[in-house]
Amino acid sequence: MADNKLKYLSKKMSYALRHNPDKYGIKLNDYGYTDLSCFIDALNRVHHLTLTRDDITAVIAHSTKQRFEIKGDRICALYGHSLPGIIHHRVATPPAILYHGTARRFLPSIRELGLLPMQRQFVHLSTDIQTAQAVGRRHDSQPVVLEVDTHAAQAAGIQLYVGNDQVWLADEIPARFLYGWPENLINS
């Protein structure tokens, strides 16, 4: 399958599983899973496609961001949901340091308020600097990557949730757990 078709299908899958399952007539359980056959039928019906399970598997295999998961005969989006309260994530102990890539223009607000989910349900954190840089580059050609001291955050009662192998989620991260500030913000 061509890259552009894989990307198109990934966007449609994301929209259905993360943002508007009602439009597709699919029901998500408490962990965001839905019946895979019903999901494929819904995508085919709404978008006039002829997708198979192999097509969905190809989209998942092609993605470097691990957005989706198939378990048996069920599928889910692992993170990024905009619908509040539909997905329950597993609290776990993350690596000691996680990373958050952001645009320079957001730093004063982050310094004051910490990391907040804004239009998302959760703050997204990366397990490696490269992923955090790529995330930050969506808003700034020279993003800043902040380090999150996860052990100190958890000791203070901040819960961190597994998104996938590369993404961790949090309700918020207060600024006192963030490091790697540019020099001009250290003493401000």
Torsion sign over Cα 103, 87, 57, 61:
positive
Which residues fall within 8 angstroms of residue 152, CB to CB, at 6 or more apart?
177
* Alpha carbon distance 39, 83 (integer Å): 18
Which residues partner with 173 through β-bridges? 115
What residues does each domain of the chain span? Answer: 3-77, 97-186
Radius of gyration of the CA atoms of the chain, in A = 18
CATH of domain 97-186: 3.20.170.30
Residue-wise pLDDT for 83-137, tens only, equals 666 566 778 899 999 999 999 999 999 999 999 988 778 899 999 999 999 999 9
Residue 5 has which token pair? 């078709």
Residue 20 pLDDT > 80:
yes
Residue 165 pLDDT > 90:
no
CATH 3.20.20.370 fits 3-77, yes or no: no
Taking residue 8's Cβ as centre, other Cβ atoms within 10 Å add up to 15
